Structure 1
């Protein structure tokens, strides 16, 4: 189904779900000034087209460190390596780019041992992996995964990184079960979550309110951008002078074209993921938006060829 079949109401529904992925459809209908029956019908149709609402833990609230891995593989092995990384529970997204020989992977680790087991042993011993660079995400300005979450309508997400140092949030068995169920369906009903956890719906509601209030739970909208006419997903690797790093990162976070932006370690100290309709739109963005920002010394672009894994939260 092409993008022409999605009208303004569909896009406004995606926007409303981005504001609150668990909002009752009756409330969404009032916001959109239409009937609940119409909203329910549109929501079911979007679900059939691949719409997901995914509950994600905020890694920093659980003492996890986020890493971005950049790997170069032999042409015959990149797909297999990407699939292997996608099967790991500690990865949240994996994409193939640059002619199918380069891939990117987001990884969450709690200890240096967990990190080194992958970087220094497993990948280092894989002969088809020609090079590996690991970039610690020091500050995430926008986005949790690097994939597009209705960013044309983005607002501040609950649990967004403010830079504050917070003690890791303790979890019990009920919290862990909630995260597991919400990863499958962020709009799972209170009775469904109660059955999974062995708790009453009111107890589950209080848990959800606590997790969201403490910035531990994000609800993300996952929808194929190509169905909205966006066919050019691109990784942007920028080298920014230190004095302008924060300004550039925070500015990128306000651009609707940018789904993800983070300050990282490594040769490129700012990485972003952008979604555009056409290559010409990407060119205009680089020329008019990136070119106008202060302190950018160099930039590298890498179009995404295939998303192997996306919006799969690494559970704490």
Structure 2
């Protein structure tokens, strides 16, 4: 899908939803200067075309989860089916097919330190067509998943922004988790649907969603294919950085607009980053002009993304 499929109002709507994924359409319309009906119609069209999806996601650390990046090398005929099988699991957050179509990288959450590597291995497909696997625990996030649409003014963003999260402790009930499974599929699901899932009243659900958001336990991410915005070159970088420079390099990557996510990890590579560029020439310039000069970077392995099988997903117990 080309960037021509989205006009200026579409982009403004997407930016508004990045600020608050559950902002009411009438509120967005007021900020953008159009009617509620227009905003609702635009949202439905973008969603129907597969260009826009709002996903409710949990902060896994509050559930005692450990985040892993898992790399699998498969036989050429197996990578696609294995990637799709991984994407269907609730315990994968994202899944990408890399390189020549034989490598998969995915985000997996293990339920706690007691589970460790053994539990992680049990979660992966058992097939001889998986040739090798390495798992890297996330130690520190320098940049989280983010979009590259920023068209609203500071004043418009301020009007749409929800209250900043507090440091309130939070726990999850079975009722909460039933509701959150619905939000993992549609972050803008109505309170009626959430109440039915949680078997409670709409007022209870509304209050609970606000509590979880206020505690920073629940956020709403905007899923949009980069190609819809004119970006055609995605890659995963596996970097070996001198330990004394790791924090400095990670912080520098977080400032690069090309970087979607950057994290310190365990394993032979101690820093990973997902990047998105306009095209392969733009990716080349990024590697040679932005990454290469960073002091402390010893090696960079670049794995082009062939296909994103799962972009955003919630991990629930």
Superposition TM-score tier, normalisation by shorter sequence? 0.7 to 0.9
Does the CA contact (< 8 Å) of 2:14 and 2:149 recur in 1? no
Q: Which moved more, 1:78-87 or 1:255-264?
A: 78-87
Instruction: Report SS of the residue matched to 1:287.
Output: helix
Equivalence for 1:229? 230
Measured in 2, the distance between the counterparts of 1:142 and 1:289 equals 16
Query: How far is 1:265 from its partner?
Result: 0.6
1:43 aligned partner: 43
Map of 1:88 onto structure 2? 89
- Give 3-state SS (helix, strand or coil) of 1:100's partner: coil
Matched, 1:97 2:98: yes
In the other structure, the counterpart of 1:265 is 266
Over the aligned positions, Cα root-mean-square deviation in angstroms equals 2.7
Secondary structure in 1 matching 2:216: coil
1:87–1:5 CA distance, 2 compared to 1 (3 A): closer
How does 1:131-142 map onto structure 2 within 5 Å?
131-142=132-143
> How many angstroms does 1:18 deviate by?
0.4
Matched, 1:176 2:173: no
TM-superposed deviation, 1:202: 2.4
Write the distance in 2 (CA, Å) between the matches of 1:306 and 1:255. 23
Q: Secondary structure at the match of 1:99?
A: coil
Asked if structure 2 preserves the Cα contact closer than 8 Å seen for 1:98 and 1:302, the reply is yes
Q: Deviations 1:99-147 (Å, cap 9, x if unpaired)?
A: 0111111110114447414427966x63222221110011122335xxx
- Which position in structure 1 is the counterpart of 2:284? 283
Shift of 1:244: 2.5
Does residue 150 (structure 1) correspond to residue 152 (structure 2)? The answer is no
Measure the CA separation in 1 of the matches of 2:30 and 2:171. Answer: 37
Distance in 1, Cα, partners of 2:66 & 2:128: 27
Aligned equivalent of 1:16: 16
The structure-2 alpha-carbon separation of the partners of 1:14 and 1:60, relative to structure 1 and needing over 3 Å to count, comes to: same
1:49 deviates by 1.8
For 1:131-173, what per-residue CA distance to the aligned partner results, in whole angstroms no more than 9, with x for missing partners? Answer: 21110011122335xxxx5334399x99x9xxx9x97x42112
Unaligned runs of 5+ in 1: none
Q: CA separation in 2, counterparts of 1:252 and 1:121?
A: 31
| C-alpha deviation, 1:198, in angstroms | 2.6
Counting only pairs closer than 5 Å after superposition, residues 61-76 of structure 1 correspond to structure 2 as 61-76=62-77
Q: Do the aligned residues in 2 keep the contact of 1:153 with 1:256 (CA within 8 Å)?
A: no
Rate the CA distance shift 1:115–1:88 in 2: closer, same or farther, 3 A. Answer: farther
Q: Distance in 1 between matches of 2:128 and 2:116?
A: 21
Counterpart residue number, 2:30: 30
Cα separation, 2, equivalents of 1:249 and 1:33: 39
1:301 aligns with 2:299: no
Deviates more, 1:266-275 or 1:281-290: 281-290
Q: Distance in 1 between matches of 2:222 and 2:255?
A: 18
CA distance in 2, matches of 1:54, 1:200: 22
SS of 2:100 mapped into structure 1: helix
1:220 aligns with 2:217: no
What is the CA-CA distance between 1:251 and the residue it aligns to? 2.9
Cα distance in structure 2, aligned partners of 1:84 and 1:184: 17
TM-score normalised according to structure 2 size? 0.87
What secondary structure, in the 3-state scheme, does the structure 1 residue paired with 2:294 have? coil
SS at match of 1:151: coil
The gaps in structure 2 that reach 5 residues or longer are 152-156
- C-alpha distance in structure 1 between counterparts of 2:222 and 2:124, whole Å: 33
* Cα distance, 1:247 vs structure 2: 2.6
